[in-house]
């Protein structure tokens, strides 16, 4: 809770900083240079914006200039800051919670302000998510958090940052748990996320006010089941529009990566194209929230229908160009704007031919926002709550659920998402797969298998000295400590050797990687395995409570410890769920399985063989593996079939075994 409070405070302050930076950039680029003022939503002044362009020739040049400056900044200082920052933060949750550099956060703020402020189509949630997620990553490094706590810290950073900038704290809290998986939920992040989000919202609202982002005239009351038909239509269209958004965005990303144009110039060219689109459709410039406000308020009733129908597609193209080319900004905000235009288009088509639709477009605009991005983000619950908070329209949750559910099913069948870093479920992480195949890890302690470190490098060493020490000890890398013996990071021998060729006297700190995971000596081996994978899969430093290096955990150490555990626990059965039991048993001399492949084995129903220890090696089960006497088999089995499986493995009579 303390960490969540600190992350929430930084998320709120980061949202304030970026909001102000974006406001200044928009005023300078579009207002001063372009002579055009964008409309703003009700919660931000409800300005009508310019009626037209005073200097239309300047608009494409201004958007291109912002793209050029953003590209130069990103690809010179922090290439990982390109694109939408939320996906980078999700990737960090799954693979390296300590790995978000502060430099990338700073560059993301400036580059996004330049991209969006000059008229590029992007959302402001990506930078704010990366600010607070980056701070969560920093806390993971500073306090040597466990891999699980590091994941939670970065997850709640994502949610609290987005919740603050959109004035939607509950939605932000749920987003922290909902957005990292396509079909699962990071439930450990929910309650800390609530705490972080409300603190972030309190700080941001204390500066800019606590009103919803959008002002809704009148109100909506669901009073007839027939209305659900119209919202179901929105859901069907929203699923298709969401898929078009994702596929178009990543098509531009792929095209940009294959382009021969230098990376620094790609956002400029894309900005020029967006500027030309904006000459006919100014709705594609910037965040677009002011145009959503106009749609909610019924101020686009006289816009030609062909324009309204073109707006969702135009916004998809503009966002794909602005962010997919290497520009910096979020895809969350544009997704909701695309959804708003989709809902408005449905209302404009139905209103003349179906009087029961009503004369207020606001419900259609709001449900469209929920459905398009709720489906393609694979975070339907969080997006519904956020849009309800942003519009102050909790009454639209009921009809919105119909549209969002339909859109989600359409997107899910295509197995797509706007966030490609999402894993499908918690079980799809590399760590979960290994832990699933090695169920005894949680019963072993890191202290049982850790070895004494052969090398501890001082942070004051030169690269040549460090190379000589590591080569002499025959180690692939080593932990680095400061004068007090506190762990400060790790170095890799190959990188040190390369650096020694160029500058033997260079300080070792220039190669120090502080993002490498560690594991505490009091942890269990399942935690150690996760840290090992995050650290690259070879070795990881073992630290004490005061961050002093007390050992090294390697893959060999884990396997040796696991083999010993298997030897001690032959015949062990552990209930892992009401419908599954983890079983460890040796293949006996009398077993009918000896000499038989797993593919041909007459296993009982409800049995999954996970791993087999062959001699000194533990291997994951495949159909071609052959059972041999003495093999230790790890399996998941239906409790009703457990005794039958044990009898088959040992060759004993099932009736002779205790139940």
pTM (2 d.p.): 0.81
pLDDT for the residue 99:
87
pLDDT for the residue 657:
43
Question: How far is residue 238's CA from residue 234's CA, in Å, rounded to a whole number?
Answer: 6
Mean pLDDT of the chain: 89
Using the predicted structure, report yes or no on whether residue 568 has a pLDDT greater than 70. Answer: no
Cα 81–chain centre separation? 14
The pair of three-digit structure tokens given for residue 494, joined into one six-digit string: 């190959």
Q: In the 8-state DSSP scheme, what is residue 300? A: T
Q: In the 8-state DSSP scheme, what is residue 32? A: I
> Per residue in 277-294, pLDDT tens?
999 999 999 999 999 999
Choose the weakest-confidence range: 58-72, 195-209, 567-581, 637-651. 567-581
Query: pLDDT-derived band of residue 576, with 50, 70 and 90 as boundaries?
Result: low
pLDDT for the residue 241:
97
Question: How far is residue 138's CA from residue 428's CA, in Å, rounded to a whole number?
Answer: 26
Q: In the 8-state DSSP scheme, what is residue 96? A: -
pLDDT for the residue 659:
36
Using the predicted structure, report yes or no on whether residue 296 has a pLDDT greater than 80. Answer: yes
Q: Which domains does the chain have, with CATH numbers?
A: 2-414 (1.10.3080.10), 432-560 (3.10.580.10), 569-656 (3.30.70.1450)
pLDDT for the residue 633:
87
**Residue that is written with structure tokens 């692939």 in the block:** 476
Q: In the 8-state DSSP scheme, what is residue 42? A: G
For the segment 37-58, the average pLDDT, to the nearest whole number, is 93
Question: How far is residue 286's CA from residue 47's CA, in Å, rounded to a whole number?
Answer: 15
The pair of three-digit structure tokens given for residue 496, joined into one six-digit string: 């040190």
In angstroms, the first-to-last Cα distance of the chain is 45
Question: Which secondary structure element, helix H or strand E, spans residue 541, and what is its range?
Answer: strand 539-543
Phi, psi of 261 (to 5 degrees): -70, 140
Q: In the 8-state DSSP scheme, what is residue 509? A: G
**Strand-pair category, 539-543 with 518-520:** parallel
- 415: number of Cβ within 10 Å: 10
Q: Which of 268, 380, 296, 386 is nearest to 333 (CA)?
A: 386
pLDDT for the residue 570:
56
324 CB contacts (<8 Å, ≥6 apart)? 83, 249, 250, 251, 252, 253, 256, 270
Do residues 330 and 88 touch, judged by C-beta distance below 8 A? Answer: no
Using the predicted structure, report yes or no on whether residue 654 has a pLDDT greater than 60. Answer: no
Q: In the 8-state DSSP scheme, what is residue 476? A: S
**Strand-pair category, 580-586 with 518-520:** unpaired
Do residues 177 and 202 touch, judged by C-beta distance below 8 A? Answer: no
The pair of three-digit structure tokens given for residue 452, joined into one six-digit string: 């004494």
Choose the weakest-confidence range: 2-6, 11-15, 116-120, 542-546. 542-546
The pair of three-digit structure tokens given for residue 526, joined into one six-digit string: 């399942």
């Amino acid at each position: 809770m303390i960490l969540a409070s600190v992350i929430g405070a930084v998320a709120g302050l980061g949202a304030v900083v970026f909001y102000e930076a974006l406001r200044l950039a928009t005023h300078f680029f579009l207002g001063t240079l372009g002579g055009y003022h964008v409309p703003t939503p009700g919660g931000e002044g409800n300005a009508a914006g310019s009626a037209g362009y005073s200097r239309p020739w300047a608009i494409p040049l201004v958007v291109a200039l912002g793209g050029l400056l953003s590209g130069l900044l990103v690809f010179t200082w922090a290439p990982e800051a390109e694109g939408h920052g939320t996906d980078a933060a999700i990737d960090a949750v799954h693979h390296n919670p300590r790995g978000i550099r502060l430099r990338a956060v700073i560059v993301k703020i400036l580059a996004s302000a330049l991209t969006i402020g000059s008229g590029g189509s992007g959302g402001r949630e990506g930078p704010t998510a990366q600010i607070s997620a980056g701070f969560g990553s920093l806390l993971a490094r500073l306090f040597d958090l466990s891999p699980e706590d590091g994941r939670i810290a970065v997850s709640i950073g994502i949610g609290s940052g987005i919740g603050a900038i959109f004035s939607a704290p509950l939605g932000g809290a749920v987003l922290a748990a909902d957005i990292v998986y396509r079909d699962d939920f990071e439930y450990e992040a929910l309650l800390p996320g609530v705490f972080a989000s409300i603190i972030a919202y309190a700080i941001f609202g204390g500066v800019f006010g606590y009103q919803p982002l959008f002002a809704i005239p009148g109100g909506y009351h669901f009073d007839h089941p027939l209305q659900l038909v119209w919202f179901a239509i929105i859901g069907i269209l929203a699923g298709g529009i969401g898929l078009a958004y994702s596929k178009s965005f990543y098509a531009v990303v792929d095209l940009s990566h294959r382009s021969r144009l230098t990376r620094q110039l790609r956002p400029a060219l894309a900005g020029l194209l967006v500027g030309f689109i904006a000459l006919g459709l100014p709705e594609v410039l910037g965040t677009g929230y002011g145009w959503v406000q106009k749609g909610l308020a019924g101020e686009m009733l006289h816009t030609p229908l062909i324009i309204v129908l073109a707006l969702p597609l135009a916004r998809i193209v503009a966002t794909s160009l602005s962010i997919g080319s290497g520009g910096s900004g979020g895809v969350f905000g544009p997704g909701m704007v695309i959804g708003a235009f989709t809902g408005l288009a449905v209302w404009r088509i139905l209103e003349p031919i179906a009087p029961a639709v009503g004369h207020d477009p606001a419900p259609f605009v709001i449900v469209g926002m929920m459905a398009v991005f709720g489906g393609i983000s694979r975070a339907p619950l969080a997006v519904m709550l956020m849009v309800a908070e942003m519009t102050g329209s909790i009454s639209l949750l009921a009809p919105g659920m119909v549209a969002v559910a339909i859109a989600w099913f359409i997107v899910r069948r295509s197995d797509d998402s706007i966030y490609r870093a999402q894993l499908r479920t918690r079980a799809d992480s590399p760590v979960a797969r290994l832990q699933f195949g090695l169920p005894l890890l949680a019963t072993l302690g890191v202290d049982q298998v850790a070895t004494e470190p052969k090398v501890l490098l001082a942070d004051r060493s030169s690269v040549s000295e460090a190379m000589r020490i590591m080569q002499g000890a025959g180690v692939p890398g080593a932990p680095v400590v400061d004068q007090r013996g506190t762990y400060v990071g790790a170095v890799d021998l190959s990188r040190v050797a390369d650096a020694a060729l160029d500058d033997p006297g260079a300080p070792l700190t220039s190669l120090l990687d502080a993002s490498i995971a560690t594991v505490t000596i009091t942890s269990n081996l399942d935690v150690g395995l996760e840290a090992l994978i995050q650290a690259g899969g070879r070795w990881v430093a073992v630290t004490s409570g005061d961050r002093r290096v007390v050992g090294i955990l390697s893959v060999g150490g884990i396997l040796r410890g696991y083999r010993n555990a298997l030897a001690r626990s032959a015949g062990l059965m552990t209930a892992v769920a009401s419908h599954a039991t983890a079983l460890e048993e040796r293949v006996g001399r009398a077993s009918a399985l000896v000499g038989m492949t797993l593919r041909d084995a007459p296993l009982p129903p409800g049995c999954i063989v996970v791993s087999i220890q062959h001699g000194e090696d533990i291997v994951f089960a495949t159909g071609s593996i052959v059972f041999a006497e003495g093999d230790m088999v790890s399996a998941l089995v239906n409790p009703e079939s457990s005794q039958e499986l044990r009898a088959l493995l040992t060759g004993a009579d099932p009736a002779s075994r205790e139940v």
